[in-house]
Amino acid sequence: MPDLTFDGDVIIVTGAGSGLGRAYALELARRGARVVVNDLGVDESGAAAASAGADATVAVIREAGGTAVPDPHSVAERDGGRAIVRTALEAFGRVDAVVHNAGFSRDNFFDQMTDEQIDSVLDVHLRGAFYVAQPAYAAMKQAGGGRIVLTASTAGLLGAPLMANYGAGKMGVVGLARSIAVEGAQYGIKANALSPGAATRRGDDSSAFRFANRPNPIDPATVPGREWLTPERVAPMVVLLTHRSCPVTGEILMARSGWFARAWVTASEGWIAGGGPIQAEDLLQHWDEIAGTGTEGTELPLDGPGWTVRFMNERIKPLLAEPAANQRS
């Protein structure tokens, strides 16, 4: 199998000053990509300076013979997103892929979470995905294609106590990636959501609010196989998803500790009540059919409106010809 090289493709990586984003940027540059390294150098709460930010990552890339430019703009502002893409266009003339990795968390009990904690996290994770992806999408559309990778999380896919703001933003990113995938297909644009896992500064502190305030506190240092939880063991998935040979679009991928997988949206066969009046008691009576077994179901495809039309034609239309008396059981 041939090596996946980028031959000068231009890739934007947000939050690339440390952790996962830094590992992505270094590996993409090693494989020949020209990388726009975006980072503000803030800590995991998004407040205080915690690293040298983009400049340090760029220096490592250049020392290894790669090509990169730093970008200091905030993804949490529309003008910042435009500026990040403008950095790529001014430096290299195009944008082939975007990896929106920038993020932080501000944890709290759900009933005590403040507007500032909600808004600041949604601004960088969800609105930031819009603000960076929109101008990049426009450039890709004009150029005939590209790849967009948005960062999801198990906090969204599975839920997470004390992180309702973070989980909501990350699940919103999944819907955004899948929607971009449907709309962008006609322009050669692919978009996917990646849920990564690695021991970075965000997930390394046992005193962090989300670990210490659980009913059963978690100490990350005691997790088995922690030495495998490195950003470098996630980066190969980002390489594939940003490469011109990327085999998928609209998918939810997971990567951690060398484990790579696809997650998907599934529905049970369900129960169709038919055309007569429906009462809540009917649902309770048929709850086993509604809930399904947990091991059976149908994977739902991309394109919600399109699926709805197909569902109505395939599942509901045949019932319309049945006598009303036989439509409910």
Angle, CA of 216, 217 and 221, to the nearest 5°: 135
* 247 residue type, one letter: P
Q: What is the pTM of this model?
A: 0.92
Secondary structure, 3-state, the chain? CCCCCCCCCEEEEECCCCHHHHHHHHHHHHCCCEEEEECCCECCCCCCECCCCHHHHHHHHHHCCCEEEEECCCCCCHHHHHHHHHHHHHHHCCCCEEEECCCCCCCCCHHHCCHHHHHHHHHHHHHHHHHHHHHHHHHHHHHCCEEEEEECCHHHHCCCCCCHHHHHHHHHHHHHHHHHHHHHHHHCEEEEEEEEECCCHHHCCCCCHHHHCCCCCCCHHHCCCHHHCCHHHCHHHHHHHHCCCCCCCCCEEEEECCEEEEECCEECCCCCCCCCCCCHHHHHHCHHHHHCCCCCCEECCCCHHHHHHHHHHHHHHHHHCCCHHHCCC
Look over the chain and give the mean of its residue pLDDT values, rounded to a whole number: 91
Catalytic pick from 24, 131, 166, 187? 166
| pLDDT more than 70, % of the chain | 92
Cβ partners under 8 Å of residue 317, min gap 6: none
Predicted pLDDT of residue 245: 97
166 is catalytic: yes
Predicted pLDDT of residue 296: 80
Predicted pLDDT of residue 218: 79
Average pLDDT value for residue range 260-284? 94
The per-residue pLDDT for range 168-202, each reduced to its tens digit, is: 999 999 999 999 999 999 999 999 999 999 987 65
